Structure 1
Amino acid sequence: MNPWARRVIIALSVWLAAAMASPAAFAAASAPAPAALVVQDVDTSAYPVVRLHVSLPAELHAASGTPAFTLAENGSAVRDVDVEARTTKGEAEPAWVVLVIDTSGSMEGRPMADAKAAAAKLFDGLGADARVAVVAIGDEPRVLTGYTADRAALGSAIDGVYARGETALYDSLMRAAALAPVAASGEPRRSIVLLSDGGDTVSNASFDAAMKALQASGAGLYAVAIESDEYDPQALRLLAAGTGGRLLGVKDTATLSGLFEGIATEIAGGWTLTYTSARPGTKDLEVDITAESGGAAAAAAFAFPNPLFAGEVAGAEPVLPEVGEDPWRLLAVTALAFLSAAALGVGLLLIFVREPNTLAQLKYYDQLHADAGGDAGGMADQVRAKVVGAVGEVAGKRGMLEFVAERLEAAGLPLRPAEYITVHLLAVVGLGMVTELLAGSFALAILVVLVVTALPMVLLANAAERRRMRFEAQLPDVLSMMASSLRGGWGIGQAIGLVVQEAPAPSRDEFRRVDAESRLGMPLERSLQSMADRMRSTDFQAVVTAIAVQREVGGNLAEVLDVVSNTIREREGLRRQISALTADGRISAYILVGLPFVILAILLLVSPDYLEPLYTTLFGSAMLVLGVVLLFVGAVWMWRVTRIEV
């Protein structure tokens, strides 16, 4: 293993061990979280004055006195918070509640009977003036009754449901969110109570659509999940947290009645928190609330749309311009973004590409003057020449032309370095801007820029490697041809000329260049050494050394070339034998390294919520980092085992 890879593995291992062994990490993972309070409603009609209607869990209801509330907006503490106790058991300000009850086939039997009894407890606990609507979850959502205070109508609606069909959970939540209450007086107090024993199976709506609908309604979600083989606690937890609500798990349906009584108590007796917003320039306002009373604590974190951006505040100007409304502004912003990315890429190249020496600079200016003497051509040719010349001038002064030229020569591509750099830059900027304009996703555009930046260099390196392998495969036959020519009385120059005439590419092209350089006066040893450096072939380096020694001290060069040719053939035969013997190991390495990514892609397509604990929890993140480290170590290990130098 090379030193760089070893240092990376050691650093990752030490970091992971420190993170896993950190007392703070264990404390964070094991410390009990405070109970969740529920945000029933958010009133921004008098923005920047914001009113939050919250309900406290049962443990804080049992404590006497006014709870101590602390509030933060977008991470900044709010100093002045007005706290007012409120009750919804009265005509002045009744509670508005949507009960969403699961009636799928998995609820058949005792769970359905206990759910009906719990619903009755909820209706009684909310008070006689509470307005309640009921939505049934099945193959599709059904509104059993709209908002009503008629307990007989509610009881009849609940008694008439029976368990059958699938679970359209997200569709039902969107239907519940659409039931916006309208109160004759006072401010409506909105809440949604969900009872389900399974995850979504047949909804047309997605998780994200349900989350947006719930957040737009302003209602807090009490998600009561009956633990079963099918229920999805992670999705329900995220939905509840995103609306300022909470998730309550139930193992035995017999406890549903008591749980629903507690929920009714929370909804009926709440608190109103009033504060003045700092009017931050964000599209969402993120609020953190903590309540403490009698040694118990409850907290909630949620977000709601900023009225400045929603146009709810009269005369308010948007804090940030909507770039998407003006196509020219969008084009300008996109162009500036990708020009900045291109400038960053050029800056990195200027850092890592070595400073050219004086001779290289003279060669560069000599090439410019040589190119300037050509025909002017048409207008398009002149524009292209100016663009390529400007790119070549910037790149050549830092030695980038030489860097690119080496790789183009190794790949055997008949392109000038300045032309290649120009096409590459235009492709990166052009495809990135087209992706941004068509897809409207800056992250996707950045991904396209990175791919288009790296892919040509990878393909260039791959082409150079394949060309080198073809050259080394032809080398034994070329050496035998040269040895036969030397035995026939020809000189080394004539033998090279025969190779130029008879050998296939790329040997023919490389030896043609050596022959041309020799005819122009360059020493043969230097031309052959340049060819060896260009092809990066250790086998041909041995040939160059043999020729140089023979021309220095004399000897039978034909015999030397025969020996080198036989040695190369034997090494190639051994290399192929080793490749055949290690083929199963390489295939195993490809499968073991690629299989986790294939499974990850399948799970993301089939059930993306299943993977959320992997990157939303501390333990899941630690497992993810550990898996990546072990995958990297295993890949390096198997690569080293199957790679045998000959």
Structure 2
Amino acid sequence: MDNLFLFFIIIIPILFVVLALSLYSFYTKMQYKKIIINTLANTNNKILDKNKMEVNIHSDNWLGKKLKFAGFTKKGSEFVFVIISIGFGLLASFFIYFITNSKVIFIFTTLIFALFPYLFLMKIIKSREEEFNFSLKEIIDKVTSMMKSGVGFEQALKKSILTCKSKLTKDVFNIYVNEKSIIGEDKCFEKMFNIIESKELRIFYLTISIGRKSGGKFSNTLEKLRQTLQDQGEIKQEITSSTKEIKVGTYMIIALTFFTYIMMNNALDNSLNAHFFGSDIGKIQMFFIIVWVAFGIFINNLLTKIK
């Protein structure tokens, strides 16, 4: 029975990964042919280059967009990420399985730990967003000051980008600097939106668009945007300070529960440990208790994050 179980938990995931890769390869080939046919039919004299076709293939993929926001733009990143998630879930679950020897726990831990790479991915996206937004505020400050001194917007923006300390921000804005004259301002910002998740950047784009359509300088509009972003940062700091109290209270309750368990276990001559860690049913119960507490902490963090 154990051999059969090991067969299912090892062979089936491997077969699943192989099947997924095969389907992915078939899908990309079909999309490649489809793009070539459509291009020949529409233009009759031009075929999109391979790199552009790859962008078109993956641009509508939800996971692909998240990976691009995290800085992973190479072809096949989605399936590599899926394989890493499955592999991490299986390896972590094997470790727990050898401790608990429970198949029920193994199945649930596989599903839970398979989500960890995604949580790590979201952490990377958030970190990149914060770094970019901080540098964007500095760029807006410099651009506004130079425009009030009589410098044109394009020159002010280029000078601000050159003095920016963030490599990420430079890479994003270099798309605008290098390609604006080729593909236009709107297309440049669309490409920028695809590699960084930032509401502030979209507001900056709208400010520029409105300013250009209104004619003349728009340093006053940028000044209002700068003040708005500054006020937003101050409010965010106040909210963060307020929500820390809620999180500390949650951790205090968990710590109190932990110490209560220890005292009850000592008072009952170690019978709680014997049940929860010495029996199969007790291990399953303890596992779901831990999962429930972790889920409660996760929900609490979501509720205390105010955008």
Change (3 A) 1:475 1:333: closer
Report 1:288-307 matches (<5 A): none
Match of residue 336 from structure 1: 11
Letter in 2 for 1:460: L
Quick one: distance in 2 between partners of 1:461 and 1:636?
16
Match of residue 403 from structure 1: 62
Match of residue 510 from structure 1: 172
Q: Per-residue deviation at 1:472?
A: 1.9
Q: Per-residue deviation at 1:406?
A: 1.8
> Contact 2:85–2:116 at 8 Å: present in 1 too?
no
Change (3 A) 1:566 1:605: farther
Match of residue 607 from structure 1: 273
Match of residue 425 from structure 1: 83
Q: Per-residue deviation at 1:499?
A: 3.0
From 101, 116, 125, the counterpart of 1:455: 116
Q: Per-residue deviation at 1:528?
A: 2.7
Match of residue 71 from structure 2: 412
Q: Per-residue deviation at 1:526?
A: 3.8
Report 1:76-155 matches (<5 A): none
Match of residue 548 from structure 1: 209
Quick one: distance in 2 between partners of 1:499 and 1:644?
31
| Structure 1: gaps (5+ residues) | 1-282, 284-321, 351-357, 372-391
Letter in 2 for 1:468: E
Quick one: distance in 2 between partners of 1:597 and 1:408?
38
More strand, by proportion: 1
> Contact 1:483–1:561 at 8 Å: present in 2 too?
yes
Change (3 A) 1:638 1:434: closer
More helix, by proportion: 2
Match of residue 495 from structure 1: 156
Letter in 2 for 1:338: P
Match of residue 35 from structure 2: 362
Q: Per-residue deviation at 1:488?
A: 4.6
Quick one: distance in 1 between partners of 2:75 and 2:271?
43
Quick one: distance in 2 between partners of 1:508 and 1:471?
9
> Contact 1:410–1:464 at 8 Å: present in 2 too?
yes
Quick one: distance in 1 between partners of 2:59 and 2:106?
26
Report 1:346-385 matches (<5 A): 362=35, 369=50
Over residues 223-256 of structure 1, what are the superposed CA-to-partner deviations in whole Å (9 max), with x where a residue is unaligned? xxxxxxxxxxxxxxxxxxxxxxxxxxxxxxxxxx
Q: Per-residue deviation at 1:564?
A: 1.0
Q: Per-residue deviation at 1:517?
A: 3.0
Quick one: distance in 2 between partners of 1:401 and 1:542?
23
3-state SS in 2 of match to 1:503: coil
Change (3 A) 1:484 1:422: same
Change (3 A) 1:601 1:503: farther
Change (3 A) 1:426 1:529: closer
Change (3 A) 1:635 1:416: closer
Match of residue 485 from structure 1: 146
Quick one: distance in 1 between partners of 2:198 and 2:233?
13
Change (3 A) 1:487 1:459: same
Letter in 1 for 2:198: S
Over residues 264-306 of structure 1, what are the superposed CA-to-partner deviations in whole Å (9 max), with x where a residue is unaligned? xxxxxxxxxxxxxxxxxxx8xxxxxxxxxxxxxxxxxxxxxxx
TM-score under structure 2 length normalisation:
0.64
Is residue 531 of structure 1 aligned with residue 179 of structure 2? no
Quick one: distance in 2 between partners of 1:432 and 1:605?
32
3-state SS in 2 of match to 1:504: coil
Over residues 5-46 of structure 1, what are the superposed CA-to-partner deviations in whole Å (9 max), with x where a residue is unaligned? xxxxxxxxxxxxxxxxxxxxxxxxxxxxxxxxxxxxxxxxxx
Quick one: distance in 1 between partners of 2:206 and 2:109?
46
Change (3 A) 1:451 1:515: farther
Quick one: distance in 1 between partners of 2:298 and 2:94?
35
Quick one: distance in 1 between partners of 2:235 and 2:253?
27
Quick one: distance in 2 between partners of 1:636 and 1:369?
44
Match of residue 164 from structure 1: none
Change (3 A) 1:502 1:417: same
Change (3 A) 1:430 1:631: closer
Letter in 2 for 1:405: G
Quick one: distance in 2 between partners of 1:565 and 1:605?
63
Change (3 A) 1:439 1:643: closer
> Contact 2:144–2:223 at 8 Å: present in 1 too?
yes
> Contact 1:468–1:536 at 8 Å: present in 2 too?
yes
Quick one: distance in 2 between partners of 1:605 and 1:463?
44
Over residues 110-167 of structure 1, what are the superposed CA-to-partner deviations in whole Å (9 max), with x where a residue is unaligned? xxxxxxxxxxxxxxxxxxxxxxxxxxxxxxxxxxxxxxxxxxxxxxxxxxxxxxxxxx
Quick one: distance in 1 between partners of 2:197 and 2:274?
47
> Contact 1:432–1:449 at 8 Å: present in 2 too?
yes
Quick one: distance in 1 between partners of 2:59 and 2:190?
23
Change (3 A) 1:605 1:635: farther
Q: Per-residue deviation at 1:480?
A: 1.4
Quick one: distance in 2 between partners of 1:448 and 1:633?
17
Structure whose alpha-carbon radius of gyration is higher: 1
Match of residue 587 from structure 1: 248
Letter in 2 for 1:422: V
Quick one: distance in 2 between partners of 1:456 and 1:631?
17
Report 1:58-69 matches (<5 A): none
Q: Per-residue deviation at 1:463?
A: 0.6
> Contact 2:147–2:153 at 8 Å: present in 1 too?
yes
Quick one: distance in 2 between partners of 1:605 and 1:526?
68
Change (3 A) 1:457 1:367: farther
Q: Per-residue deviation at 1:433?
A: 7.1
Q: Per-residue deviation at 1:643?
A: 4.7
Match of residue 577 from structure 1: 238
> Contact 2:64–2:78 at 8 Å: present in 1 too?
no
Q: Per-residue deviation at 1:509?
A: 1.9
> Contact 2:89–2:111 at 8 Å: present in 1 too?
no
TM-score under structure 1 length normalisation:
0.34
Letter in 2 for 1:408: L
Quick one: distance in 1 between partners of 2:184 and 2:262?
58
Quick one: distance in 1 between partners of 2:261 and 2:110?
24
Quick one: distance in 2 between partners of 1:339 and 1:577?
49
Q: Per-residue deviation at 1:503?
A: 0.8
> Contact 1:338–1:433 at 8 Å: present in 2 too?
no
Q: Per-residue deviation at 1:573?
A: 1.5
Quick one: distance in 2 between partners of 1:334 and 1:572?
48
Letter in 1 for 2:169: S
